[in-house]
Structure 1
Amino acid sequence: MRPVRFVALGDSLTEGVGDPVGDGWRGWAALLADGLAEDRVEFTNLAVSGAQTREVLELQTPAGLELRPDIASVVIGVNDTLRCTFDIHAVAERLDKVYAAFTGQGATLLTACLPDPGSMLGLPGALARPLARRQRAVNRVVHALSDRYGAVHLHAAEADWITDRAMWSADRLHPGEQGHRQLALRFHALLAEADLAAGPAPSPEPQFPAPTTSASLLWLATAGTGWVARRCTDLLPQLLRLAADEMRHRARGTSARLDLRAAAAVSAALAAVSVVEQPDAV
């Protein structure tokens, strides 16, 4: 019997940032791979830090399809919300193509809705709300398309463990080891329920001590500073404009219009790929 083939696509979350092992990252997908079968699992992680839906479609998907996986995870979208080029129509179109490609080969698809980065970073309300609105839009698209393609879908956007600071790394955007283990454990439970995971569930207990405060500060002062600088150059000018718009609507009592506008954009994006959104989409 050939081994189970698992291919992971996505960004830094799936790459494993926040869960250091040796000189690299491990992450939830690698932890999950160990529990997919009692025998050997062929695991390939194609995720790249900073990737958006465009990179997943154009670069990672062709490489993943060549491996003909039994299971393919596609967890992506946060970086799209952090760019001035954010376009929910483009996100929906790209994800529809990616999901169709893997399920068309017969692969089981893994997807997830994710928390919004503004709340994780603790940004002020006027800055956080536009990012939250974008992430909700991405989550609604992911939810609707996951239903369409029969994906094993993890609702991670509002899970209780998300608010536990111990689950997160120093940058507050990526899970620490415990957070990655929670993602792996919850994906495994969903797969086991569907008789798609025959191996042992990942342990929720950390293998390594949590990084010290000094180590976390060092990371933020080096790699973390570079990340902030790149995002500020790309996103900050537009985010400030969005925040100003947010405050104007709030002062006029018309904030609901922004939510309605975002909801209409999601509906139009899904209609363009011929998906009817379910009422309970998150």
Structure 2
Amino acid sequence: MQAGRFVAIGDSFTEGVGDPHLHYPNGLRGWADRMARQLGRADPRWEYANLALRSKRIDQVADEQLASALALRPTLATYFAGGNDLLALRADVDDVLGRYDEAVGALVDAGATVVVFTAFDPRMSALLEPLARRVRAFNAGVRDIADAHDTALVDHARLREYDDRRLWAPDRLHMNRWGHKRMAAAVLRTVGLEHTLRLRTLGDPPGRPPLREAAREEARFVRGEVLPLVRRRLTGRTDGDTALAKWPEPVHPAEGMKRLARRRAPSAGTPTGVAG
């Protein structure tokens, strides 16, 4: 693939939530920034923009990011949205997929090589089976969209290495540093590009903790992650309401992401890694 302009759009998955880094805009690094740096190392002519913001539903991604992304004339574009819609109390999966299809079609028609993603499909308890069915229906639709538009597909749902909790942030919704690094490698592999990322060797998964310890851990998770998320959903306020896009204008990753971040620090988004 020749050097060009890589534009990433979407929600927290692409913004990089779960992979905190104080020296990056919004206090986040993430797979897309890691991928951009690899592109810059391979060829300094690569440009990169990232418009993704946490908490955004698919309508918001389409309304707030798509036109700007198209105006940047990307040669390579990554698109993922819909995860926040799936987590809502009510979700029309067909409507979400319709918006997904429209956005992908617009990017393809603009001449970009497009990469799309399925949502990860964790092994859920029977209590969450309605959500699991929603995710499976969404993923089947994304695969159909990728086929229809002849786009590249990173089928996250089938990357079963992500069953390992060591690749996830404490909120269990977002990948951590190691998960984002593996995702960057997966996207680069999907578009046929080499990388020099050092991926953590996971080895055997840790054994299950004793029942009492597991119960305490679950209680901490509910207090620290689930309840705040529910409160944000009920109030309708999210961190994405005030955060700014990390890289709204194209930059040359070959110049060094930290150096570029320092240049735009006064206007960069809030330094937080919290999702909403």
TM-score between both structures, scaled by the size of structure 1 = 0.68
Residue of structure 2 in register with 1:104 after alignment: 109
What CA distance in whole angstroms lies between the structure 2 residues aligned with 1:203 and 1:4? Answer: 25
Tell me what 2:232 maps to. 230
**Residue pair 1:170, 1:220 contacting (<8 A) in 2 also:** no
C-alpha distance in 2 between matches for 1:152 and 1:9: 15
| Other-structure match for 1:79 | 84
- Aligned pairs for 1:103-182 (under 5 A) are 103-116=108-121, 119=123, 124-126=125-127, 128-182=128-182
Match of 1:31 in 2: 34
Q: Counterpart amino acid of 1:28?
A: W
Contact 1:14–1:47 (8 Å) recurs in 2: yes
Count of residues in Structure 1 that have an aligned counterpart in Structure 2: 213
- Name the SS for the 1:34 alignment partner: helix
Tell me the residue number matched to 1:258. none
The amino acid across from 2:58 in the alignment is: T
CA-to-partner distance for each residue in 1:173-225, whole Å, 9 max, x for gaps?
Answer: 10000000111101111112xxxx3x63433249xxxxxxxxxx999867775
Q: Partner amino acid for 1:108?
A: T
State the one-letter code of the partner of 2:30: G
CA RMSD of aligned residues (A): 2.6
Structure 1: segments with no counterpart, 5+ residues:
207-216, 235-282
Aligned-pair CA distance for 1:116: 3.5
Structure 2 counterpart SS, 1:109 = strand
CA contact (8 A) 1:171 1:220 kept: no
* CA shift digits 1:55-110 (9 cap, x unpaired): 12111101101111111111122111111341122112211110111111110111
Secondary structure of the corresponding residue to residue 38 of structure 2: coil
CA deviation after TM superposition for structure 1 residue 20, in Å: 0.6
| Alpha-carbon distance in structure 2 between the residues aligned to 1:58 and 1:18 | 25
CA contact (8 A) 1:82 1:231 kept: no
For residue 115 of structure 1, report the CA deviation from its aligned partner: 1.7
1:186 is matched by which residue type in structure 2?
A
Contact 1:8 1:47 in 2 (8 A): yes
The 8 Å contact of residues 78 and 116 in structure 1, kept in 2 or not, is answered as no
Partners of 1:92 and 1:103 in 2: CA distance: 16
Q: Distance in 2 between matches of 1:88 and 1:218?
A: 31
Structure having greater relative contact order (Cα 8 Å, sep ≥ 6): 2
Between the two proteins, what is the percent identity of the paired residues?
A: 34
